[in-house]
Structures are given as C-alpha cells and as structure tokens.
C-alpha cells in the first residue's frame, strides 16, 4: 500500500489493471469528499467518484507526469461534477417546464456536506492539502512529500485554508444570502 | 511571543510539528492569552469536524464497483475496437480454415481472447471452476459464434487430442481432427465419403482443443500468485444457480455448488458462447466417434488435400466457381468468408446438382475455401466484381499487391491475370 502513485500507474499501464485497486483505495475518500462538496449528496458523490476513477483509468496513458496523478484526478472529478450539475440543471429545467412552474427549485445542499462544499470552494492549492490531510489520511509530512513542498508551506497552507473555511462556514450559503437580499 | 507570532505557528503546534523550545513558547503564551485560546478552540473544532468527516468518507468502499465498471467498460471498448481494428485478425483466423473447415477457427478465437487477467472469487474459486476442464479427458460442448439465437453452432466432442466437430449449417459433414498429427478426416455422411486433409502449421495450432486452451488459463493464473479475485456474483441460468468470474473479454459462469462450468462467454475477438458442457463422459463411449479410420461403408477419397497453402490460382478458381456455379455467370456483389459461411447450404446444394463425382465436389468446395484463404492473407486488395459477368475481359474484378512487390496483380472478368503498375490501376 505504500508504493507511490507512479508505481501503480506504471503497473496498470504495464498490463496489470488489477493494481488500479490500490489507487482506488488511496483516493476514494478524497474524491467522495470533494464531490460531495460539489454535488451535495452522498449518492451523487459516489456515482461521480466511480465515474472519475473509471475515466482516470482509461486515460492514464495521457498522464504525462504520473507523480501529479492526484491533481489530475481532481481535475477529472471537477469535470465529472460539472457535467452532472449541467445534466441536473437541464433536468430541472425540463421538470419546471413540464409543471408550468416559474420557479425552478435550486438544488438543496444537504447540511451534512456544508464542510465539503466549503472545501470545494477553496483555491486549488489549499484544497489539495486539506483533502489529502483529512480525507486521504495523510500526515503533514506525507502531504509535503506528495505535493513536493516544504513542511512549513503545508502548515501555512492549512492555516490559511482553515481561516477561509471558517469564514465561509460562518456565512450563510450563497443562495440563501441572495434570497435575503431580495 | 506575541499573538501574531503565536497564530503563525499554531497549526504546526496543533499538528505536533514544533521543536521543544517553540512548543514551550506557544504553551506559555496560551496560558495568559484568551484570544489565542479562543483561536485554538475554534481551530480544534474545525479540525475535529474535518477528521470526523474524513473518517465517514473513508467508510465507503468503491473498489469493487470501480473495478467492475472498468471491466465492463473495457469489454465495450474491446468490442468496438474489434469491429474495426481486429477485423484483420479475425479475417486471418477465419481464413485459416476452408469452406469445410470453418469450425477450426473456434479454438483460435478463444485463445486470442485470453491472456489478459483471470480473477478468482472467494467461495467457488476460479481454480475450482476450471479444474473440471483441466482434469477432464473428455469434454462435450456447444460453441455458438455470433448471436446466440441465430449464430452458427459448433458441436464438439473432445477426447484427449482429438475432436469430433459438427457445424449446424452442415449437419451431414463430420470433421474429425487429430490435433496431434495435424490431420483431419471429413466424413460426408450422405455421400459416404471420407476425405483426409493435412492441417499443419497455424491450422493445427488453431485447432488445439479446448482442454489444452483451458490448461493455459490455469498456468497463467498459477504464474500470477498476486492475482486477485473478481467475482460477478450469482444468478440463475435455466434454473441453475451459477456464479460468475470475469476477465477482460472473457466470462465463465459455473454451477454455484459443483463448480462445473455452465457457460463461457467470449467477447473478443468474436462474440461467442460455450454451453451445454458434459464433462468426463467415459472415454470408451466416445472413442469410436473420434476414430480417424475410414468407417464401414465409406469410400476413401484417394487424394489427400493440402490445406496449408493457397495461391492466386485458388482465388481465380474460387471466383470462377462462385460466379458460374452459384450466380449464373455473374460475379458476386462482395466476397469474403462470412459471405460464404452464410451461403453454405446453398453452395452445397448447387455443388450436389452440378458435379459429377464426389471428388470433384470436394475439390470445388476446397477451392472456394482456399481462394478466400488466399484473399485473407493479402494486405492490399480490392474487389470490384459486382455487376461484372464472367468473360468481360475489359473489366477488372480484383486486384492485390503481392508482398515485396511494387506492381499489382489484377484479375479481369475473363479470369485472366496481369501485372499492373500502380499508376495504371483501375480506378
């Protein structure tokens, strides 16, 4: 389990697709958190996480630097989430038209994923560190090693990420504040 | 230490990353500073929330679902790829056989589909499933090529190194294949004729029996000790409870209790299903069925046919027979093994009407097969015979470029053949 991403990716590309399970084990929680934050539900997050991993598997040969697998995977997950959101929006619009209703209900974000939603809003550099630290079960020094940054940068990044998270968790969500202003 | 300094390293402090002196400095500062204490409390709350959410997320297990999806997706991709790219492989495989020997392709197809990964399940293991096949001296099975309802059924009785093979479209033709000695004996049960042919080389390899093929799987699995199970779960086939194992392009369903294989599905390079298995029928009961001797009442065709080579002349003859015998002198719209396969019954009927001797009939059948065999061995070729009648010398019906040649060989409607430079090729 302690091999690098690069090792497993090369194994997969070398004709050992079964080794992809190590990658899945390593990143499933991270992906779930990330996607739950974006999609607001556990089921949707699981589906999207699976989809992201499958896509990653089939596009592995396009990954130039296997060391940067994690960032690349998050990028795929972002795209999958966006596609899902778009699909959902279309679906809602269709529903709305069907029911002759003027107001298309906005997706309700489950309370449970408020934290993950806030993480999803973080700048990319903060997000990677938070996800790896808490959802990837890594220590600060492991995060430093994987993302190739000094340990001090990891704690400073965390510190800034915490501040941003606290701010956005204190504020009501954007949709709500919009309602209030109206 | 002031508050700003403290806050700067608070995260490192909480992570336990500070060296002793710094740690003490923070601890000392916290004792008296309520603002920083509050900050610690807030940070701790947030971190606890992150830790607990992280734990919750770690609960779920996507591993099996993701790997299953990959296998499924891979199969879909293989199918699509095979339709296009592997057509050549498929052609080559099919064309190693002749018109009376299409079935020999069966084993090759299966072998080609393997070699990726085999996965073992926990209860009934993959090894359990293949053991009956591994140890079986005799094996009876049906292989259906193409659509399960409408495809061609190949019925095999395998006894050690020999196979008795009957194809659904040609029930009156029994092929007995001796894979050890590269010989095949075809018995025409209506005409009571026994025809022998040599099948050395790739044809022999391609006909390696299924037992040998499955042995290869076992060896493969044994050579991969780290190999992990992939189970497809249970379902029912015809009221029988079965458990499935899958690998890329290849699925085995076996009886959940006895572990005897019930159904094998191959998705590539050709979709095929193996079923109706019977294992270890006593050898004595089957031995006579795979005898290479001329049966009582049968005439042995004196000539032994060589199925190992095919020439341009075979193709010319093939086209002649096809046009004259089957299409009243018109060249077919398209040529190819699948075309011939689908028309086997008609071809047989026409042959029976027109030929004077059994030997001539066999010869013509063989030529049709060998002609197609020749085409399939070619890299660059083109057929343009649609709408052309036999004898139209000004119309080119087929051209190909022999390997290592600049020029092309062109066959015309009168079945003459000429060397043609690339710039003079028919359009």
Band of the pLDDT at B344, cuts 50, 70, 90? Answer: low
What DSSP letter does each residue of B219-282 carry, written as one string?
A: HHHHT-TT----EEEEEEETTEEEEEEEETTEEEEEETTT--EEEEEE-SSS-EEEEEEEE---
- List all residues of chain B from 363 to 422 with a beta carbon under 8 Å from chain A: none
Contact A25/B at CB under 8 A: yes
DSSP-derived letter for residue A132 is I
For chain B, positions 3-32, list CB contacts with chain A under 8 A: 7-12, 15, 17
Q: Report the SS3 class of residue B79.
A: helix
Work out the average pLDDT over B78-106: 42
Q: Which residue in chain B is spatially nearest to A27 when comparing CA positions? A: B58
Q: How many CA atoms lie within 13 A of B14 on its CB side?
A: 23
Tokens matching residue B407: 């020029």
Q: Are B248 and B73 in contact (CB under 8 A)?
A: no
Are β-strands B299-300 and B193-198 bridged in parallel, bridged antiparallel, or unpaired?
parallel
Say yes or no for a CB contact (<8 Å) between A135 and B119: no
Using CB atoms, pick whichever of B15, B53, B70 lies closest to residue A57: B70
The alpha carbon torsion through B413, B415, B418, B420 (nearest 10 deg) reads 30
Q: What is the pLDDT of residue B209?
A: 43
| Alpha carbons A168 and A145: distance in angstroms, whole number | 29
Cis status of the peptide bond prior to B269, with omega within 30 of 0: yes
Cβ distance of A17 and B17 shorter than 8 Å: no
- What are B315-331's pLDDT values in tens digits? 999 899 889 888 889 99
- Distance between CA atoms of B345 and B351, rounded to whole angstroms? 10
What does the pLDDT read at residue B132?
62
- Chain A hits for B53, Cβ within 8 Å: 33, 115-116, 134-135
Q: Do B62 and A158 touch (CB under 8 A)?
A: no
Choose from A3, A15, A32 for mutation: most chain B CBs within 10 A: A32
pLDDT tens column, B49-90? 998 888 888 877 888 888 888 888 877 777 666 555 444 443
Given CB atoms, is A16 within the 8 Å cutoff of chain B? yes
- DSSP of B303-352: SPEE-S---HHHHHHHHHHIIIIISTTBPPSS--HHHHHHTHHHHHHHHH
Q: Is A76 on the interface with B (CB under 8 A)?
A: no
Would the ipTM clear 0.85, i.e. be above it? no
Mean pLDDT of B120-126: 41
* Mean pLDDT of all residues belonging to chain B: 74
Min Cα–Cα distance to chain A from B63, Å: 6
Band (pLDDT 50/70/90 cuts) for residue B337 is low
What pLDDT score does B223 carry? Answer: 47
Residue B163 Rama label (left phi>0; alpha psi -120 to 50; beta): beta
Q: pLDDT confidence of B425, banded at 50, 70, 90?
A: confident
Contact A137 B58 (CB under 8 A): yes
What is d(CA B427, CA B418) in angstroms, rounded to the nearest whole number?
A: 16
Could you identify the residue written with the tokens 């015979």?
B385
User: Would you state the structure tokens that stand for residue B45, as one six-digit string?
Assistant: 């709350």
Q: Which two tokens stand for residue A61?
A: 């040969």
CA A97 to chain centre: 32
d(CA A140, CA A154): 7
B190-231 pLDDT, tens digit per residue, is 778 787 877 665 555 555 545 555 555 444 544 444 434 356
- What confidence tens digit (pLDDT) does each residue in B245-299 have? 765 456 778 777 776 778 888 664 456 788 898 877 888 888 889 998 988 888 8
Q: What is the pLDDT along chain A (182 residues), one digit of tens a residue?
A: 468 888 888 888 877 778 888 899 899 999 999 998 888 888 889 999 999 999 999 888 888 787 789 989 999 999 999 998 888 877 777 766 655 544 444 444 444 678 888 898 899 889 999 999 998 888 999 999 888 899 999 999 999 999 999 998 886 544 444 443 43
In terms of residues, how long is chain A? Answer: 182
- Chosen for mutation from B15, B66, B76 (greatest number of chain A CBs closer than 10 Å) is B66
What is the rounded CA–CA span in Å between residue A106 and residue B357? 83
Put simply, whether A24 touches B (Cβ < 8 Å) is yes
Greater model confidence, B109 or B353: B353
């Amino acid at each position: 389990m302690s091999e690098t991403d690069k090792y497993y990716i090369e194994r997969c590309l070398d004709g050992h697709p079964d080794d992809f399970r190590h990658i899945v084990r390593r990143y499933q929680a991270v992906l779930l958190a990330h996607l739950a934050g974006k999609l607001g539900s556990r089921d949707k997050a699981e589906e999207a996480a699976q989809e992201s991993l499958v896509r990653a598997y089939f596009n592995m040969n396009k990954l130039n630097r296997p060391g940067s697998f994690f960032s690349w995977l998050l990028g795929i997950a972002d795209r999958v989430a966006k596609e899902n959101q778009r699909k959902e929006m279309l679906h809602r619009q269709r529903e709305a038209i069907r029911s002759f209703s003027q107001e298309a209900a906005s997706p309700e974000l489950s309370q449970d994923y408020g934290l993950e939603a806030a993480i999803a809003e973080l700048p990319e550099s903060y997000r990677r560190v938070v996800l790896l630290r808490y959802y990837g079960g890594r220590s600060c020094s492991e995060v430093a090693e994987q993302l190739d940054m000094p340990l001090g940068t990891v704690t400073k990044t965390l510190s800034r990420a915490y501040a941003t998270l606290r701010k956005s968790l204190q504020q009501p969500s954007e949709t709500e504040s919009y309602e209030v202003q109206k | 230490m002031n508050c700003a300094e403290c806050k700067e390293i608070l995260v490192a402090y909480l992570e336990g990353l500070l060296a002793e002196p710094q740690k003490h400095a923070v601890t000392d500062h916290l004792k008296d500073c309520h603002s920083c204490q509050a900050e610690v409390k807030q940070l701790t709350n947030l971190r606890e929330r992150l830790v607990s959410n992280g734990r919750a997320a770690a609960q779920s297990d996507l591993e099996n679902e993701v790997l299953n999806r990959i296998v499924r997706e891979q199969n879909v991709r293989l199918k699509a790829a095979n339709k296009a790219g592997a057509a050549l492989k498929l052609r080559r495989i099919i064309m190693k056989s002749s018109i009376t020997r299409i079935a020999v392709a069966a084993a090759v197809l299966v072998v080609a589909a393997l070699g990726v990964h085999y996965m073992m399940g926990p209860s009934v293991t993959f090894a359990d499933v293949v053991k009956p096949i591994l140890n079986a001296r005799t094996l009876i099975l049906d292989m259906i090529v193409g659509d399960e309802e409408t495809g061609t059924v190949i019925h095999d009785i395998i006894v050690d190194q020999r196979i008795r093979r009957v194809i659904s479209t040609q029930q009156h033709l029994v092929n007995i294949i001796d894979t050890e000695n590269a010989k095949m004996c075809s018995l025409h049960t209506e005409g009571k004729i026994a025809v022998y042919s040599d099948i050395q080389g790739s044809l022999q390899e391609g006909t390696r029996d299924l037992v040998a093929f499955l042995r290869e799987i076992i060896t493969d699995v044994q050579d991969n000790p780290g190999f992990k199970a992939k189970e497809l779960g249970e379902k029912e086939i015809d009221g029988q409870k079965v458990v499935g194992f899958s690998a890329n392009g290849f699925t085995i369903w076996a009886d959940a209790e006895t572990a005897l294989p019930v159904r094998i599905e191959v998705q590539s390079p050709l979709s095929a299903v193996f079923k109706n298995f019977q294992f270890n029928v006593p050898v004595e009961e089957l031995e006579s069925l795979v005898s290479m001797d001329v049966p009582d009442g049968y005439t042995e065709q004196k000539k032994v046919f060589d199925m190992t080579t095919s020439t341009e002349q075979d193709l010319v003859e093939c086209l002649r027979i096809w046009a004259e015998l089957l299409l009243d002198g018109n060249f077919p719209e398209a040529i190819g093994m699948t075309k011939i396969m689908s028309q086997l019954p008609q071809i047989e009927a026409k042959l029976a009407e027109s030929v004077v001797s059994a030997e001539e009939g066999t010869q013509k059948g063989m030529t049709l097969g060998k002609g197609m065999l020749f085409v399939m061995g070619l890299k660059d070729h083109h057929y343009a015979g649609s709408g052309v009648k036999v004898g139209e010398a000004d119309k080119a019906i087929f051209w190909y470029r022999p390997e290592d040649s600049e020029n092309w060989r062109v066959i015309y409607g009168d079945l003459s053949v000429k060397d043609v430079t690339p710039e003079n090729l028919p359009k």
